[in-house]
Structure 1
Amino acid sequence: MELNGTSAVVTGGASGLGEATARVLAAAGAHVVIADLNEELGKQVAEEIGGQFAKTNVTDEGDAAAAIAAAEGSGHPLRVVVNCAGIGYAARTVNRDGSPHDLASFAKVIAVNLTGTFNVLRLAASAMAKTEPADADGQRGVIINTSSVAGIEGQTGQIAYSASKGGIIGMTVPAARDLSVIGVRVNTICPGVIFTPIYKSIAGGGKEADEFLARLAAPVVFPKRLGRADEFGQLVRSLVENDYMNAEVIRFDGGIRFQPK
């Protein structure tokens, strides 16, 4: 898929993996719609890359539809959607004090990470179906979802997060099969430990921060460090531009395999 002259929607595009992806796609010539709840950061990124901002709660049908419509109205055909929006939550199924996992928190993580991804996916695919084919194969678009290695081998206290990310993995193949009739490819990336603003805020600064990041990187096989958000963006671009990549779940983790804790 040729990116130059197309439009793309990146959910969670105001920071982290989404921001890095938006910048990579824009550099390749795509008009990018930043779909995010963070209006201040979202508008800033959109301005810097020459794109648009759409305030978006991915669980809301109207918000998601408006973000897709913004891309459609840009004057460029909608060809790419990257789902990066997501939240985390840590709690055991039964806590140390014997209390059960909070159900509302579990439901919220599922709603944002899994249902939100599907909400955007279905609306984006419907919009892509209305475009003219981009090539002789009849290709109309590419949708890339963001899961996690936690969706494959979740750790203690990740029951909600792992369930949501595992669900994204589970819908990759059926979505690709469903959307083959309209020429839309679907792939899912499973990042490992990536150095995003979340880890920056946790780590803080100084020697303790260095030690914290070193512990996170210890299980990584090679290279012996945390992944970078721009490397994630590069992988997204590769998957978009390689027309034979479809219905795949790709680990992006430096070879890490999570232990129970």
Structure 2
Amino acid sequence: MRIDGVAALVTGGGSGLGAATARALAEGGAKVALLDFNLEAAEAVAADIGGIAVQCDVASAASAEAAVAKAAARHGPARILVNCAGIAPARKMLGRQGTMPLDDFRRVIEVNLIGSFNLLRLFAAGAAALPPTDTGERGVAINTASVAAYEGQIGQTGYAASKGGIVGLTLPAARELAADAIRVMAIAPGVFETAMLKGLPEAAQESLGIAVPFPPRLGRPAEYAALALHIIANPMLNGAVIRLDGALRLGPK
């Protein structure tokens, strides 16, 4: 699918992977709406790329419905969705602070998994009503999984479960939406230069990067964005999860 002139939704567009993807889409001529809980961050990126910023709690049906409607009112129904919104809390089930509160687990599932499905269902409803492009497509959605879906580490029960849910969602969603000519893919990044990792000491960042077989460094958000754009451009990519990790396989901790 060509992106020039096409409306796109990017959740978590105010920072990290989402911001890089929003910038890449805008550079290709897409009309980008950045949906983010942090409206100020989204507005800063939107101002740079000529997009629009919309406040959105992806875990809320009402908030997401309002955000998608606002974006559609400005740009028309989106043909592209990239879900980058997410949280990555780390806590052991049984730790020094006691038993992990159930609400901690519930929150990460709500944001990462339910939030992705929430936007996917709303995006699909709009895209399904659009005429097909010259490639026969109506839309393409990309969700963000993680290598933690496959090798979740100690302290990542909630995060790994949420990302494993994204992996499990991909194929059945793609099969269902194939009737509407909408593709569904997922990217599973390894260790990337995001706000979460940048908050770690420099030595910790270096040790994480060195653990990557090749290239021995942290991934760059622009590399995630480049893969997202390739997925959008290649109509045969559908129903799969692509690891973007430099051959990294996580250890227990």
TM tier relative to shorter chain: over 0.9
**1:243 aligns with one of 206, 230, 235:** 235
Runs of at least 5 residues in structure 2 that lack an aligned partner in the other structure: none
Amino acid at match of 1:237: L
Do 1:9 and 1:67's aligned partners in 2 also have CA atoms closer than 8 Å?
Answer: no
* Correspondence for 1:62: 62
* Correspondence for 2:33: 33
C-alpha change, 1:71 and 1:220, in structure 2 (3 Å) is same
Aligned length: 253
Do 2:142 and 2:184's aligned partners in 1 also have CA atoms closer than 8 Å?
Answer: yes
* Correspondence for 2:161: 163
**Distance (Å, rounded) in 1 between the aligned partners of 2:195 and 2:96:** 29
**Distance (Å, rounded) in 2 between the aligned partners of 1:75 and 1:20:** 20
Deviations along 1:178-200, whole A, 9 cap, x unmatched?
10010100000000000112222
Runs of at least 5 residues in structure 1 that lack an aligned partner in the other structure: 204-208
* Correspondence for 1:206: none
- 1:81-100 mapped onto 2 (5 Å cutoff): 81-96=81-96, 99-100=98-99
* Correspondence for 2:107: 108
* Correspondence for 2:221: 229
C-alpha change, 1:75 and 1:215, in structure 2 (3 Å) is closer
Do 1:14 and 1:42's aligned partners in 2 also have CA atoms closer than 8 Å?
Answer: yes
* Correspondence for 1:255: 247
**Distance (Å, rounded) in 2 between the aligned partners of 1:224 and 1:109:** 29
**Distance (Å, rounded) in 1 between the aligned partners of 2:135 and 2:144:** 28
**Distance (Å, rounded) in 2 between the aligned partners of 1:136 and 1:114:** 30
Following TM superposition, by how much is the alpha carbon of 1:163 offset from its aligned partner in structure 2, in angstroms?
Answer: 0.4
Following TM superposition, by how much is the alpha carbon of 1:248 offset from its aligned partner in structure 2, in angstroms?
Answer: 0.8
**Distance (Å, rounded) in 1 between the aligned partners of 2:226 and 2:37:** 24
Identical aligned pairs, as a percentage?
A: 46
1:2 and 2:41 equivalent? no
Q: TM-score of the superposition, structure 2-length normalised?
A: 0.97
Amino acid at match of 2:64: A
Q: TM-score of the superposition, structure 1-length normalised?
A: 0.94
Q: Tell me the secondary structure at the aligned position of residue 82 of structure 2.
A: strand
